[in-house]
Amino acid sequence: MMRLQTTIMTMAATLALAACVEREAPTGAEDFATFCAACHGTSGRGNGPAAVGLDRKPADLTGLSARNGGAFPGTAVMAKIWGYTGASPGGRVDGSPMPEFGPLLQGDLVPYDGGDGTQTPTPVRLVQIAEYLRLLQE
Ligand code: HEC
């Protein structure tokens, strides 16, 4: 009997942990929907509802590779979304209305090679978004 109770409690704890981990680690698609789609649109074409009020039109993210001679510009994409260009007190130095994405910077660092052969330790959720953008390419 004790054995069964222990097993059930262990299972419950495992499930609770799984639910927790799931909540803390959204997929690239989920993060895109949460942090990017307002401006870039759910399909990434740059036509999200928040695009209307912006001076600069959100980029069509389905054409990143096409605009880069057919190669996915992983390093440039990562630079953009990591937002390190904007880490100055006056906001982003590149004049972009894109916010920085604090929650996306939390979590593990994983090696990311955006195509230039350099492995850079990069927040895993940013890597997932970049991989999601790669899938959107037409
Ligand atoms: C507040 C609106 C807004 C949000 C939210 C936003 N963007 Fe943008 N984004 C823009 C605008 C406007 C541009 C075009 C001007 C520029 O390059 O800054 C842009 C440009 C980009 C570019 C450069 C495209 C190119 O052709 O060089 C990438 C990549 C990008 N966004 C990815 C993302 C991702 C990924 C997210 C979510 C994590 C996101 N953006 C969230 C407004 C936004």
How do residues 126-137 score in pLDDT, each as one tens digit? 999 999 999 999
Q: What is the mean pLDDT of residues 16-30?
A: 70
Tell me what the pLDDT averaged over the chain comes to: 81
The more confident residue out of 119 and 12 is 119
**In the numeric block, which tokens belong to residue 137?**
């390419």
Position in ligand 1 atom list of the atom nearest CA 101: 38
Smallest CA separation from ligand 1 atom 31, residue: 59
d(CA 12, CA 4): 12
d(CA 36, CA 81): 10
d(CA 108, CA 91): 26
Q: What is the mean pLDDT of residues 35-58?
A: 93
> Residue 101: what residue type?
F
Does residue 19's CB lie within 6 angstroms of at least one atom of ligand 1? Answer: no
| pLDDT tens-digit map of 65-80 | 999 999 999 999 998 8
